[in-house]
């Protein structure tokens, strides 16, 4: 998800097509069981990052952020079939953007975080038994979702 203010509704609409539905569903089925591991990895990396650490503390991560990040990851990969669902998804991403804007989180850190997520999702897909072409399509689609 373009983090997050520059995300366009149109981009979401272009990705959530009927044609992409089966691929979204396969990706979510693979990533969902690993979402908690990915969220743990994400915050472990950030807690070790000298510029990120000042926005975080262990209790916040342990009690809240880890859980909400795993949920965000799954929500971002869930196929949205109706304009209403797409709109809710868009509003949710914007709210998260506003939360980060309120704490003055630099864009460079958001980009860094998104890179961590993209890499972990790609690794989960790589370990799956998706066929070559489907694997390529899945990695491309996730690249667009988390652009």
The residues that touch ligand HEM, with contacts defined as CB under 6 A, are 3, 46, 52, 55-56, 64-65, 68-69, 72, 96, 99-100, 103, 105, 109-110, 113-114
Residue 120, C-beta contacts closer than 8 angstroms, at least 6 positions apart: 34, 37, 38, 41, 42
Closest CB to ligand HEM among residues 18, 103: 103
Closest CB to ligand HEM among residues 38, 130: 38
CB of 15 to ligand HEM, least distance (A): 17
- Asked if the bond preceding 132 is cis, omega within 30° of 0, the reply is no
CB of 18 to ligand HEM, least distance (A): 26
φ/ψ of residue 65, rounded to 5 = -65, -35
**C-beta of residue 75 within 8 angstroms of C-beta of residue 21:** no
């Amino acid at each position: 998800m373009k983090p997050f203010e520059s995300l366009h509704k149109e981009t979401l609409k272009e990705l959530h097509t009927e044609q992409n539905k089966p691929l979204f569903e396969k990706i979510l089925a693979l990533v969902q069981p690993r979402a908690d591991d990915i969220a743990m990895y994400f915050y472990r990396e950030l807690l070790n990052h000298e510029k990120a650490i000042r926005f975080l503390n262990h209790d916040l991560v342990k009690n809240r952020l880890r859980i909400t990040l795993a949920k965000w990851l799954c929500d971002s990969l869930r196929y949205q079939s109706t304009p209403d669902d797409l709109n809710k998804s868009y509003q949710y991403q914007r709210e998260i953007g506003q939360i980060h804007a309120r704490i003055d989180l630099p864009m460079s850190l958001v980009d860094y975080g998104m890179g961590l997520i993209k890499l972990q999702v790609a690794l989960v897909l790589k370990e799956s038994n998706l066929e070559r072409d489907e694997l390529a399509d899945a990695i491309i689609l996730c690249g667009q979702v988390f652009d």
